[in-house]
Structure 1
Amino acid sequence: MPPIPGVVAATASVRLRGELSVRLGPVVLGPRQLGGVKPRRLLLALLLAHGAPVSKDRLGELLWDGPRPVTAAATIEAYVCVLRKRLEPQAGPRASLIETRAGGYRIERDRLVLDVDRDERLASRALHPATAPHDAVALLREALSEATAPLVPDEGSADWLVAARTAHEARTRELLVAAAEKVAHVAPDDATHWAQLALDSDPFDESAWHALLHTKELSGDHADGLRAYGRCRTLFADELGCAPGPRLQELYGRLLGGGGHAAPGPHGGADELEQLIEAVVRLHHDLSAGPATIADGQGRGAARGISSDQARRALTALVQRSARSRPRLVRTESA
């Protein structure tokens, strides 16, 4: 839309993380100042459309969960008037953030700064291959400072809002994982924090587990990495009935110091490592369960995998094989 003579178009800062708010210069409008539930939903529908026009029919579907009233179109027009007056009381319809389009409305995104867009741009700049990891740390700290804040949690649970929140959470996890991998070798504390935030959002995200374990590997904290893998493996076994994927198993092998590069096969390599992991996890379950539970064979791992005796035999065999492979010292007597 061409500029209106004599009208200065202000840039609005919109907060979607946490409580919805709009800042226009020194004025901050919170949920109550933006109108009732439906005007705010209309504003959110336009904001989440990324500047594309939204028809009145579509707005009617988003504003009313059931059948729309016969006056829906007129009611939507009234809501738009309310929003325009609340957002820019001195501007006329032609200079408003909310533009009229044939059969609908759009929001002028060129005059908006959304918190989620701003942080996405910062993160993308930090994660660009040309940005050195040391330089990326400060950018990522700023971009991810509110990573745990949900998208407008107080604005209802309509399906389209739930879908928007789910997509936002998924994208945030991607950024957290990418950030952790980017700075793992220069800022392990930040990387661990971001990987853990991704896991808090989805504990079954293997890429987040990989970022966490990789950080432990690069920082030399192998013991903590092994403990983290144990938590991951137990979670996957208990909840999904499967082991972590090959990528995590390979990383686990490197943490153990065994290389982890053996190709999966029926006679060694990955299979042997898998048996070792099963033995350690089973004995850990037994120790956690207590003597009475072990005697009854009701440990948390009893319903699946190997038995306690099998686990002990596997570890004993490993120790014996290690002892046999240790180079012997040969004493020679002088003549």
Structure 2
Amino acid sequence: MSRRISTAPLALLLVSLGSAAGGAYAYHRYRDADWERRENEYQRQLQGKLTESEKQMQSLNTELGTARARLVTQASLDEKYQAQLTAKDADFEKFRREHALALKSLSDATFQLQQREHGGKETAREVPPSPPPPGEPTVPSVHPVIAYEYTDPEGRVQLKDPNIWVQGDEELQLQQLFRVEGTVLQQTNGSLMTERVQLQEVSADGTGKYRELAAARLVDASFTYANAPLAGPPGGLKWGPSWMATVGTSFRSESLLRVGASARVVKWGPVGLAAGLSSDFLSLEGSGGDAFVTFTPSVKGRELGLVLGGGVHLPLGGTQRVRPNLTVSFVVY
């Protein structure tokens, strides 16, 4: 006597599969459309076809301290960098090659720092003439020799003049500390970037902190960068749920297929870990939790909305409490 199969679970399975496939297709199309949008935006901006707002963001603004910015290809950026290298950069280039560092941007800034000091410490003293060699007469000086020294209140500028009546023997010593602050900003919906640069002269307070003495005014600055959009999601370890509709099987179970939902909680490249719930809607043995390792195939560097997995199924009832499990999941979000 053949066993009669209820049509309700089969219909539910077909509806679940259709919804999952539709969600995966929509997810895949949306992501492809997003990639295409970013690529089109990048090509427009790379060709210099900017909106008025983007032109303002890329222009020099000495009041805000933002540089004149320009988006170029990586090849153009590397070429510009090689053209400006000198013998002084040999050690840095060796360091860059040893650590496989990629060039991302170049910046150049010119500042004007104008200050006026009040106070300080100055001394002037008359220097007695040196005695003449034995046998030579003493020749009186037209002016007495006066030595002069000045040190500013912060001790960073020192002027020495051994004889104020003689030009060309002055000595000026500068010992200054400068703080350079750079901030790089990027569009949230495009490839354009800009850099803000600031220069301040500071003085050490003896506690490991620095006090600002004067802020330099930005005269000119340029910022050249390469920032092509990623071809797909960045690699590396990523945490956070990725929701999926799941179809699983445990081989010798009474029901061949189970359907359910799962979430991939961690992902490292194409591999990840996921957990969820599934059921055959017939028995407690066919219902329970799932834990499995995932693999996401890709085509030409772009991930599909399809995820393959293998792990265990934990039934709510029955004698075998752990079953091997293979899954096919469809990413819906």
Give the TM-score taking structure 2 as reference length.
0.21
| Structure with more of its chain in strand, by fraction | 2
Q: Which has the larger radius of gyration?
A: 2
